[in-house]
């Protein structure tokens, strides 16, 4: 019996990774045709891509740096999706996380280095959680579509952050100079440790201990989803909310909790980027885009924390390697094409899995008749 269960789990795992791997392979093949179309050699392009992202320890470090926020935002999208929620607002929750982090850095600037980084990370997670609570409670209590609310809250978060940075946490307030588009910087004792301080071989790379925090959060998220009662209830509501409610599971509670946890992960992404890389919030560039990238990462990772780790690493490779491809004369848009094709393949699989149910509703046929047709 135990052997059968083990074999069943292995088969499920293989089925889960089989299609994403095929999608990645086919996307690179199709990408090769576009590279040829531009008059370049696909072999040279892909060698430059992978050497630019993995060729040296420093380049590998930069790839891990670009992977870090994608792990958090991918986990945020994936956790919400496990409860049947499509959290498009990860971008706004990320932004609020950065604002809360900077605010906490200014308020608690006198705390020692052994405490301040933890306080800043908690503040960032809290900012994202609060912002995600709004669509969560509206969905749970009023049935408001979370996609519409979270999209609107993305822009609300952007404007709030813009005001706070320019009018409250601006260096001009302290220095009496012209107002800047960026905030004050967090104190040095609140910053994460650069890996170059631990391992000098990372060279110019800015990768920091945030990557370890991201990996730990992926493991914690996996544990919550698959090893706790909370995770079981969240997944149950996502699979069939009405059957779950009949079994005594509160739909409203789990929808709200799932959104809050999703927002906390997004806010934590912002906190890690502030404490590990930028040390300030810069509003000149607008939305950073990590939240939207997280949707693609979660989709390719099949909304599973471990799959999201692998997916985020793939996207990190593509993001970091595109610079060396561009230097070699290959248009950087090729990377966008490869990413898009991967997503199209994964989306096609998702639509295909739901097609019998969709066709049944459209035609009014029974499930057996749909399968036969």
Query: What is the per-residue DSSP string for 88-136?
Result: TTHHHHHHHHHHHHHHHHHHTTTS-TTTHHHHHHHHHHHHHHHHHHHHH
- Above 90 in pLDDT, residue 346? no
- List CB contacts of 334: < 8 A, sequence separation 6 or more: 31, 34, 35, 38, 45, 322, 325
- Above 70 in pLDDT, residue 90? yes
Mean pLDDT of 93-103: 96
Smallest CA-to-CA distance from 90 within 102, 99, 78, 101 is with: 78
Q: What is the pLDDT of residue 232?
A: 96
Q: What is the pTM of this model?
A: 0.90
Distances, alpha carbon 258 to alpha carbons 100, 263, 268, 301, in Å:
21, 9, 15, 18
> Of 191-205, 214-228, 348-362, which gets the smallest average pLDDT?
348-362
Q: What is the pLDDT of residue 72?
A: 98
Cα 157 to Cα 161: distance, rounded to the nearest angstrom: 6
- Above 60 in pLDDT, residue 369? no
> Of 117-126, 138-147, 247-256, 276-285, which gets the smallest average pLDDT?
276-285
Domain 61-330 class in CATH: mainly alpha
Measured from the Cβ of residue 217, the count of other Cβ atoms closer than 10 Å reads 21
Q: What is the pLDDT of residue 11?
A: 61
Q: Which residues of 146-179 are buried (b: 16+ CB within 10 A; e: fewer)?
A: beebbeebbeebbebbbebbbeebbbeeeeeeee
Q: If pLDDT is split at 50, 70 and 90, which confidence band does 3 have?
A: low
Q: If pLDDT is split at 50, 70 and 90, which confidence band does 24 have?
A: confident
DSSP string, 35-101: HHHTT--HHHHHHHHHHHHHSSHHHHHHHHHHHHHHHHHHHHHHHHHHTT---TTHHHHHHHHHHHH
Q: What is the pLDDT of residue 92?
A: 96
What is the CA 162 to chain-centroid distance, rounded?
A: 22
Mean pLDDT of 92-115: 95
């Amino acid at each position: 019996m135990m052997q059968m269960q083990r074999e069943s789990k292995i088969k499920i795992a293989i089925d889960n990774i089989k299609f994403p791997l095929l999608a990645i392979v086919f996307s690179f093949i199709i990408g090769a045709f576009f590279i040829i179309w531009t008059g370049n050699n696909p072999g040279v392009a892909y060698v430059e891509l992978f050497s630019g992202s993995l060729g040296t320890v420093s380049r590998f470090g930069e790839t891990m740096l670009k992977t870090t926020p994608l792990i958090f935002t991918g986990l945020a999208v994936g956790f919400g999706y496990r409860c049947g929620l499509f959290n498009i607002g990860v971008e706004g929750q990320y932004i609020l996380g950065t604002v809360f982090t900077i605010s906490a850095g200014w308020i608690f600037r006198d705390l020692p280095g052994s405490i301040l980084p933890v306080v800043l990370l908690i503040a960032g997670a809290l900012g994202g959680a609060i912002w995600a609570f709004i669509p969560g409670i509206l969905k749970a209590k009023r049935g408001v579509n979370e996609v519409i609310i979270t999209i609107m809250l993305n822009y609300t978060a952007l404007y709030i952050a813009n005001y706070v940075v320019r009018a409250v946490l601006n260096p001009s307030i302290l220095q009496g100079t012209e107002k800047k588009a960026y905030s004050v910087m967090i104190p040095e004792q609140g910053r994460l440790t650069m890996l170059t301080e631990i391992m000098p071989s990372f060279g110019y790379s800015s990768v920091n201990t945030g990557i370890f925090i991201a990996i730990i959060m992926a493991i914690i998220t996996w544990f919550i989803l698959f090893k706790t009662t909370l995770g079981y209830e969240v997944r149950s509501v996502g699979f069939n909310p009405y059957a779950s409610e009949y079994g005594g599971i509160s739909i409203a509670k789990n929808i709200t909790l799932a959104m809050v946890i999703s927002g906390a992960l997004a806010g934590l992404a912002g906190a890690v980027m502030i404490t590990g890389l930028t040390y300030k919030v810069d509003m000149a560039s607008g939305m950073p885009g990590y939240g939207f990238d997280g949707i693609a990462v979660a989709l390719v990772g099949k909304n599973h924390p471990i799959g999201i780790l692998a997916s985020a690493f793939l996207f990190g490779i593509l993001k970091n390697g595109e610079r060396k491809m561009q230097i070699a004369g290959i248009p950087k848009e090729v990377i966008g094409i490869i990413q898009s094709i991967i997503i199209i393949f994964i989306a096609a699989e998702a639509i295909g899995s739901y097609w019998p149910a969709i066709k049944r509703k459209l035609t009014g046929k029974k499930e057996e008749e749909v399968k036969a047709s």
